[in-house]
């Protein structure tokens, strides 16, 4: 079992917060990541900024632009990761072209071109990758490189994913499966979609843990997601919003990141209580 799997499938429900590395500047990230860990994060997802983030909504896109403007290159991202002092596993979320172009080699098989990135990521302390524009059908070269360096490869399951594609993912996924709670791109939303219930039911037999994301911003969302049966909750835009606002009267960015993480974690714990309560009721 990988570190990520252990962290998400542990005794209590887990929280996977996201921030974009280098937003608003590379120097800020370490403090934010430590605050998220202090707030109860079990795995932290770090965005490596790419200029064309087609799977992300405007909130994260703006964060990416700030990070790029502040000079957050892939190499700078790895340097940031190397400075982090947290004991939770880290996942890098980015887009395929950055993996493909990393390193000096500009030709060769996909596996050969992807290998330097994965090796560097593993050395820097990254435990898993989420590459939203790499479909499972094209993922074998990256899967091979990830296996070589002990890095998990996490896939996103959408409400629209077909059974055939689910099966392909099931064979290749490791760490956890990222369940997209609704259609669209990332972004904080008012409620958690019914699609979550259906998606979790479809993944019930999978051996990897399931974390649900897209639109999670409140304690109640986390509670509902975990009560529905998820092992973990992924939340991004709500944290990126806090970074975007900067220090405020209610507290510094780090203080508010920690408080928000603690709030969502508490919601997840409530959801677990609710779920075990339901199970007990059902057993009677």
Partner 1 sequence: MSTTKFGEYGGQYVPEVLMPAIEELTDAYERYVLENEDGFMDEFRERLADFGGRPTPLQRADQLSERYDADVYLKREDLLHGGAHKLNNALGQVLLAKYMGKERIVAETGAGQHGTATAMAAAHLDMPCEIYMGRRDINRQRPNVFRMRLNGAEVVPVTVGRGTLKEAINETMREWATSVEDTHYVIGSIVGPHPFPRMVRDFQAVIGEEAREQIQDKAGRLPDSVVACAGGGSNTMGAFHEFVPDAEDGDTTLFAVEAGGEGLFVDEDEGVAPHSASLSSGDEGVLHGARTKLLQDADGQIVESHSVSSGLDYAGVGPELSYLVDEGHVTPVSVDDDAALEGFHRLSQVEGIIPALESAHAVAFLEQQLGPDGVPAGTAERDLGDVIVLNLSGRGDKDLESAIEETEKRDIDAAPDMGVFHE
> What residues act catalytically?
45, 56
Q: In terms of DSSP H, where are the helices of 203-283?
A: 219-228, 237-245, 253-283
The 8-class DSSP code of residue 251 comes to B
Q: In terms of DSSP H, where are the helices of 84-162?
A: 96-101, 110-124, 140-149
- Cα 280 from Cα 284, distance rounded (Å): 6
Which lies closer to partner 1 via its Cβ, residue 58 or residue 150? 58
Least distance CB 205 / partner 1 (angstroms): 19
Least distance CB 52 / partner 1 (angstroms): 5
Which lies closer to partner 1 via its Cβ, residue 106 or residue 284? 106
The contact set with partner 1 (CB under 8 A) reads 50-55, 57-58, 61-62, 65, 68, 73-75, 95-98, 100-102, 106, 132-138, 155-162, 165, 180, 183-185
Least distance CB 101 / partner 1 (angstroms): 3
- Cα 49 from Cα 132, distance rounded (Å): 13
Query: What is the sign, positive or negative, of the torsion defined by CA atoms of 156, 157, 159, 164?
Result: positive
Which lies closer to partner 1 via its Cβ, residue 157 or residue 192? 157
Least distance CB 269 / partner 1 (angstroms): 29
Rg (alpha carbons) of the chain, rounded to whole number: 18
Which lies closer to partner 1 via its Cβ, residue 32 or residue 102? 102
């Amino acid at each position: 079992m990988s570190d990520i799997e252990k962290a998400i499938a542990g005794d209590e429900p887990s929280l996977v917060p996201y921030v974009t590395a280098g937003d608003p500047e590379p120097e800020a990230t370490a403090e934010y990541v430590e605050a998220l860990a202090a707030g109860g994060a079990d795995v932290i997802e770090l965005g490596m900024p790419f200029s064309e983030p087609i799977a992300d909504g405007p909130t994260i896109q703006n964060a990416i632009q700030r990070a790029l403007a502040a000079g957050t290159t892939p190499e700078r991202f790895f340097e940031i990761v190397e400075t982090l002092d947290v004991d939770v596993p880290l996942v890098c979320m980015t887009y395929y072209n950055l993996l493909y172009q990393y390193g000096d080699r500009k030709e060769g098989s996909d596996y050969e071109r992807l290998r330097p990135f994965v090796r560097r990521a593993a050395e820097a302390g990254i435990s898993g990758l989420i590459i939203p524009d790499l479909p499972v059908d094209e993922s074998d070269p990256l899967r091979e490189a990830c296996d070589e360096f002990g890095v998990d490869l996490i896939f996103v399951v959408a409400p629209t994913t077909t059974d055939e594609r689910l099966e392909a993912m099931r064979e290749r996924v490791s760490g956890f499966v990222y369940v997209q709670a609704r259609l669209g791109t990332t972004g904080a939303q008012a409620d958690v979609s019914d699609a979550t219930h259906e998606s979790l039911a479809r993944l019930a037999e999978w051996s990897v843990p399931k974390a649900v994301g897209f639109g999670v911003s409140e304690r109640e969302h986390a509670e509902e997601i975990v009560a529905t049966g998820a092992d973990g909750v992924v939340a991004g835009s709500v944290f990126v919003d806090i970074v975007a606002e900067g220090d405020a009267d209610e507290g510094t960015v780090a203080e508010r990141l920690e408080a928000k993480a603690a709030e969502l974690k508490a919601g997840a714990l409530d959801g677990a209580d609710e779920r075990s309560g339901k199970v007990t009721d059902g057993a009677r």
